[in-house]
Amino acid sequence: MTILRLRIVFDDAMLGPGKAELLERIGKTGSIAAAGRDMGMSYKRAWMLVEEMNRAFREPLVISTRGGPGGGGAQLTESGARVLELYHDIVAKAENAAAARIGTLEAMLRPAQPGDISDRK
């Protein structure tokens, strides 16, 4: 199935599939470390991405408590949930608007041959 991966490049910030997935997993797991781990990302990188997002927006997208008995926790703020929802809406709108042309491109592709080694990475 064809999918669109979409990166929004603002003047001084970016939002793409990686940050969106990180936000989503933080919302589900309640932990930046666990969210990053699920994505095969170092703790340091997950924190860096969260800090980048928190700096980029007027209000933080993620609030966290470091350490403590439970090892600290994190959750999406209202702004975080809103940004994630907007990102998903943007992808859905884009896929919908482009669907006919994506179908035209698909029809131009060479059909997969049995035994082909996929180029997909």
CA-CA distance, 43 to 30, in Å (whole number)?
Answer: 14
Q: Specify the DSSP class assigned to residue 58.
A: S
For β-strands 72-76 and 14-15, DSSP reports them as unpaired
Task: Find the binding residues for its own copies in span 58-117 (CB under 8 A).
Answer: 58-59, 79, 82-83, 86-87, 89-90, 93-94, 96-98, 101-102, 104-106, 108-110, 112, 116
Indicate the residue among 38 and 95 with the shorter CB distance to its own copies. Answer: 95
Instruction: Specify whether the CB–CB gap between 94 and 7 falls below 8 A.
Output: no
Tell me, by CB under 8 A, how many residues bind its own copies: 47
Closest distance of CB 68 from its own copies, Å: 28
CA-CA distance, 19 to 35, in Å (whole number)?
Answer: 11
State the Cα torsion 17-19-25-29 to the nearest 10°: 170
Task: Find the binding residues for its own copies in span 18-37 (CB under 8 A).
Answer: none
The residues that touch its own copies, with contacts defined as CB under 8 A, are 1-16, 52, 55-59, 79, 82-83, 86-87, 89-90, 93-94, 96-98, 101-102, 104-106, 108-110, 112, 116, 118-120
